[in-house]
């Protein structure tokens, strides 16, 4: 949290979302992190034959669905 305190001292006039973090603002950095996490979630699941979203982490490695997913 020391870094956040430094940023506040540098630009106390700006709302948190507009304070700089390197070349980005806090708001831009948060938006980027949300985008990355959403993309990761999208890649970590597949739709089974019953149109259910199955997360790869929840699939037993010996399950046929898991083996089919790995062959793609």
* Range with the largest mean pLDDT of 2-6, 7-11, 40-44, 67-71: 40-44
Separation between Cα atoms, residue 50 and residue 63, nearest integer Å: 16
Residues 10-58: pLDDT tens digits?
666 767 667 777 777 788 888 888 998 888 877 777 777 788 777 776 6
pLDDT of residue 23: 78
Residues 6+ apart with CB under 8 A from 53: 45, 46, 47
pTM, entire model: 0.44
For the chain, give every domain's residue range. 2-71
Would the pLDDT of 1 be above 50? no
Separation between Cα atoms, residue 13 and residue 19, nearest integer Å: 9
């Amino acid at each position: 949290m020391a870094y956040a305190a430094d940023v506040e001292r540098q630009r106390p006039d700006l709302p948190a979302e507009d304070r700089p973090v390197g070349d980005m603002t806090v708001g831009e950095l948060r938006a980027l992190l949300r985008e990355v996490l959403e993309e990761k979630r999208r890649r970590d699941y597949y739709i089974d034959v019953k149109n259910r979203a199955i997360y790869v982490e929840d699939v037993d490695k010996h399950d046929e669905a898991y083996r089919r997913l790995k062959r793609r």
